Chains A and B, each alone.
Chain A
Amino acid sequence: MASNLFKLTVNDYLEGLPEATQSKLYQSPATCLAIFRLLPNLAKFYIMTMIFNEKPVRLLDLDTWVKPQKRAEQVEGIRSIKSLHILKDNGEVAVLNPKFRENLKNVLTGVDIGVSFGAPCETEDSNKVDISFLDTYASNKWETILHFMVGTELNEFPSKGVLHLLRHSGLMTGGTPKAMVITNEGFQFLLQDVNAQIWTLLLQYLRMAESLQMDPVDVLNFIFMLGSLELGKDYSTSVLSETQLNLLRDLKDYGLIYQRKDSSKRFYPTRLATTLTSDATTLKSASTAMSQVIKSATTTTTTSSNKGNTSGSQESSSTAVSAASSTIENAGSIIIETNFKLYAYTNSPLQIAILNLFVHLKSRFANLVTGQITRESVRKALLNGITAEQMIAYLETHAHPQLRKTAEEVYQKKIQYDANTNEKFHLIQPNITDQIKLWQLELDRILTWDGYLFTDFSNEEEYQVLQSYAEEIGVMLWCDHNKRKFFVTKEGNAQVIAYANRKLRKGK
């Protein structure tokens, strides 16, 4: 379960729901909008084209709307809305799910959406809070959880519900809060961006909720409603169901929601909640900068590596530069030199803690930590279950703009020198990335299997019979025809011996 924890996105979860549950979800306009926002672009395009069209659309027409070279994206888009049962076809014509269509139409035109987008409070809050307060509140809550996971000394532990969920999702193990330790999955969790982290926990929560007989439709509706609320406004709890009130209490622990008192009749969504279904960036904090950079870096690196050695690479590199420069203000902070020395311009204890997972940190200044990547530090991380790829990805996504700029310049020069170069774009110096990968390989320099070596055969025929039998049943790992020796696994040994007794005794 835990290994595919992060691959499973909310879309996959929704697609995996039974059709009946999905139809129930489409009863809520806010949910329709949220699901729409989560869809791939081409799927959005199809829905938009069909939404005001009363008649069914011929399947062949769907193809003509998309350029042939984008076929892969089209297939993906159609697949996703089909498995969500938003698009239905009978082999010839396609229609949208009527409920979904009606509700999304209502949302877009702003009629008859009821309270599914939350009920704003009628009266003024005497203890009104502003957006910056909410931001601080949310990042405090969320980072407390992350800090707890990396084992920072804390004055207070996260709430019981949070601890339970961390344990349930396999991110941490251990009985008492003090004894809880992070698992390999937990390490990988830390390397995700904030939005993915929240969704990971929410999906775990949903699974737990199902076993607690909570209605997933209720839970999802509430989560999606949160995604469409306005930051800085207060909403009334009066329209929420019993399940949703429970959920509200739990979500406070994650910093998604602020309530002054537990008994309060109003609640404020925080930025963590309102950005659940959007691309907009979450908190202005180190972890946000992290997620922002991850997003921009993944798009830029994919464009430059995809086009790689074609003439289009110059164009893509320039977009990469502009994308990189747009994130300069709050972007990456890590400079790594070819001598494995690392400088990180950060004062976020969390980022430092994450770096500490695989870097030997040496000194800390007001806005800078310095360290060194050593064999030992990387091995420690590898033994903790962090892969070389993850470390490299972390370095790449948090690379300092200056580092990126230099790498771009070097790459540009190479292209100018030889336009057909096969060289790929390296953000991090190849000697660093290669070495980290080598250290990973070094961990398993030898492969061993327990088993038996069959040797001292008296004649060629005996050897042939047994060796070919062992090979046939797939238990032979090694053989040497000249020396008449072969090695079988522990599991296969009994079979081979039984066969030998049958065959060879009979011959005598």
Chain B
Amino acid sequence: MTRAIKGALVECDASIRALIVRIDSERHDVVIQELDETHLLIDSNKVDFVKAELNRLLSKNTYNPLDDEEIQP
């Protein structure tokens, strides 16, 4: 039977898609369906949460030159 599932379509590159899937792997309430390489269907109430999480994860991977200096005496 045909169904229409409510959600938010996410378009992103593969690396970001992997990150979103990882976010979901801890709580299982974000991703509804994995569509293809660059698309995901996620819970539309979780869009802001996903964006915030992504920001957090991506900032971890960036080098912040100021951190180094604060360690120095």
Which residues of chain A (429-477) have a CB below 8 Å from chain B?
Answer: 442, 445-458, 462, 466, 477
Identity of the chain A residue whose Cβ is nearest the Cβ of B12 in the assembled complex: A446
Q: Mark each residue of chain A from 353 to 391: 1 if its CB lies under 8 Å from any CB of chain B, else 0.
A: 000000010000000000010111000000000000000
- Which listed residue, A376, A442, A451, touches B7 by the CB 8 Å rule? A451
> A residues within 8 A CB of B72?
none
The complex places the Cα of A373 from the Cα of B70 at a distance, in Å, of: 16
- B8:A485 contact, CB within 8 angstroms: no
For the complex, is A500 an interface residue (Cβ under 8 Å from B)? yes
- Which listed residue, B6, B54, B59, touches A452 by the CB 8 Å rule? B6
Q: Mark each residue of chain B from 1 to 44: 1 if its CB lies under 8 Å from any CB of chain A, else 0.
A: 11111111111110010001000000000001101100101101
Distance to closest chain A CB from B35 (angstroms): 7
For the complex, is B73 an interface residue (Cβ under 8 Å from A)? no
- B65:A374 contact, CB within 8 angstroms: yes
- A442:B58 contact, CB within 8 angstroms: yes
Which residues of chain B (42-72) have a CB below 8 Å from chain A?
Answer: 42, 44, 47, 50-51, 54, 58-59, 62, 64-66
- B4:A449 contact, CB within 8 angstroms: no
- A478:B35 contact, CB within 8 angstroms: yes
> A residues within 8 A CB of B10?
446-448
- B2:A458 contact, CB within 8 angstroms: yes
CB contact under 8 A between A446 and B5, given known A374-B64, A478-B35: no
Identity of the chain B residue whose Cβ is nearest the Cβ of A442 in the assembled complex: B58
Identity of the chain A residue whose Cβ is nearest the Cβ of B38 in the assembled complex: A478
- Which listed residue, B2, B7, B20, B42, touches A456 by the CB 8 Å rule? B2
- A454:B2 contact, CB within 8 angstroms: yes
Interface size on A, residues (CB 8 A): 32
- Which listed residue, A360, A448, A462, touches B2 by the CB 8 Å rule? A462
For the complex, is A239 an interface residue (Cβ under 8 Å from B)? no
> A residues within 8 A CB of B33?
453, 455
> B residues within 8 A CB of A242?
none
Residue among A339, A445, A458, A480 with the highest chain B CB neighbour number at 10 A = A445
The complex places the Cα of A455 from the Cα of B20 at a distance, in Å, of: 22
> B residues within 8 A CB of A458?
1-2
The complex places the Cα of A480 from the Cα of B36 at a distance, in Å, of: 8
- B41:A453 contact, CB within 8 angstroms: yes
For the complex, is A493 an interface residue (Cβ under 8 Å from B)? yes
- B35:A485 contact, CB within 8 angstroms: yes
- A487:B9 contact, CB within 8 angstroms: yes
> B residues within 8 A CB of A394?
none
Residues of B within 8 A of A (CB): 1-13, 16, 20, 32-33, 35-36, 39, 41-42, 44, 47, 50-51, 54, 58-59, 62, 64-66
| A-B residue pairs in contact (CB < 8 Å), sample of 20 | A339-B65, A340-B65, A375-B59, A445-B12, A446-B10, A446-B12, A446-B20, A446-B50, A446-B51, A446-B54, A448-B42, A450-B8, A453-B7, A453-B41, A454-B3, A458-B1, A462-B2, A478-B11, A480-B36, A487-B9
